[in-house]
Amino acid sequence: MENPSIFFIDDEPRVLNAVRRMLRLSHRDWEMHFFNSPDQALEALKSISPWVVVADKHLAHMDGVELLQKVAEVLPEALRILLTGDARLNSAVQATAAAHFIMRKPFEQETIENVLTKARVLHQLPISLHRRQQMGQLNGLPVLPKVYQRITQELESKEPDVANVAALIREDQSLLSKILQLVNSPFFGFSSRTQEIEVAVMRLGLETIHNLVLIAELYHQGPSRLLKVGDRLMREALLLAEQVCVVCDLHRVSKPVKNLAIISALLHNVGQLVLELHVEKNLAEAPTDLHEASVVGAYLLELWGFDPEVVEAVQHQCDDELPGECEPVSEMLNLALKMRHGGFDNEQIVQMVPNG
């Protein structure tokens, strides 16, 4: 997997030719392989390990979902994309067990370029091949929750509607309760509480609510016997979010930076969540390594399309020294964790504040 490469499987020659023309000049460093037969692609996997596999859903001799399931068995570390002209939700939900995400037909050049960029970022993360394969073989997480997918579809429309997003959240009373609890927490600094989800969406904006929906659902997935693990990690995330708010206020960062830092705090242990609930079998004998869990978390958040600043913050949360080019969100999360673990006291934090 040293050279970046992509498999593209579609039984329509015009689609393959269009993609070939689209990428031939702009991505010369990528090896590109085009197949009009699923069997040809599976045979090629015996000698080539692509970073990305894109398959059309409606293939003549094998459904694209079935093909990607076979790819997951042979090469679980590959980024798997389902290409479809079917915009129905059921189609997207059906595919999530096999594909990391859906690419709609017809697509623009920017769409496929974003896929290649994502693949490169994922490949550069310092995560072992063993862990990549484990992430690619999961059947529970990292499949995105259904309500989150539906809100994603709404946000991708030309004119996203607050009322539609609120209605989707309201369909699940448990989710509604968790979202309102988060919105009314002291993190976001509103002077009055609200029990109206439309008000909550308008206060925080669609993107932040979108993130909170995923957070609220993630920590309560998995087998019922393991829900206490999710509850414990959610409590830890909430406590860290409080600490992040203290750090952000001391540093007088902008509201957008503070909101991203809060989201980073609420997602900081998502890698630990996945490892403990879905991967590790003997936690009592082998507790989760927090540095490794941070990189696993960054891998998942990049896969799910989170803001790069959130991905970076989660990846570097445990670093003793941050890379020089890190964004303020990473600094806020890293400082908050050091405060929580006794690395700094409040007075030392104040001394670090510019003009403090």
- Domains of the chain, by residue range, sit at 5-124, 146-352
Can you tell me the mean pLDDT for 41-48? Answer: 94
CATH code matching the domain that covers 146-352, chosen among 1.10.3210.10, 1.20.1260.10, 3.40.50.970, 3.30.930.10: 1.10.3210.10
Can you tell me the mean pLDDT for 238-257? Answer: 90
Can you tell me the mean pLDDT for 103-113? Answer: 82
- Give the residue among 25, 76, 104 at the shortest CA–CA distance from 299: 76
Alpha-carbon radius of gyration of the chain: 21
**Residue type (1 letter), 283:** L
Can you tell me the mean pLDDT for 184-206? Answer: 83
pLDDT at 151 over 50: yes
CA distance 336 to 334: 5
Q: How many CB atoms lie within 10 A of CB 34?
A: 18
Q: What confidence score (pLDDT) does residue 261 get?
A: 94
Can you tell me the mean pLDDT for 109-117? Answer: 86
pLDDT, tens digit, for every residue of 169-191? 888 777 788 888 888 877 777 77
Can you tell me the mean pLDDT for 140-152? Answer: 67
Give the ranges where the chain is alpha helix by DSSP (H): 13-24, 38-44, 64-74, 89-95, 109-124, 129-137, 146-155, 162-170, 173-183, 197-204, 206-218, 227-251, 255-266, 270-274, 290-303, 308-315, 328-340, 346-352
Helix, coil or strand: residue 97: coil
Residue 6 burial class via C-beta count within 10 angstroms: exposed 0-12, middle 13-18, buried 19 and up: buried
pLDDT at 225 over 60: no
pLDDT at 5 over 90: yes
Contacts with 4 (C-beta within 8 Å, 6 or more apart), sequence order? 29, 30, 31, 51, 116, 119, 120, 123
Can you tell me the mean pLDDT for 42-63? Answer: 91
**Eight-class DSSP state of 289:** P
pLDDT at 87 over 70: no
Least-confidence region, from 84-93, 118-127, 220-229, 337-346: 84-93
Q: Which two tokens stand for residue 316?
A: 């570097």
Q: Which two tokens stand for residue 156?
A: 């991708």
Cβ atoms 144, 221 nearer than 8 A: no
CA distance 55 to 36: 10
Position with higher pLDDT, 349 vs 294: 294
Peptide bond into 106 cis (omega under 30): yes
Position with higher pLDDT, 311 vs 100: 311
Q: Which two tokens stand for residue 313?
A: 């913050």
- For 255, phi and psi rounded to 5 degrees? -60, -45
pLDDT at 112 over 70: yes
CA distance 196 to 199: 5
Q: What confidence score (pLDDT) does residue 49 get?
A: 93
Can you tell me the mean pLDDT for 32-45? Answer: 94
pLDDT at 344 over 70: no
Q: What confidence score (pLDDT) does residue 313 get?
A: 96
Give me the CATH code for the 5-124 domain, please.
3.40.50.2300
pTM: 0.79
pLDDT, tens digit, for every residue of 262-279? 999 999 998 888 887 766
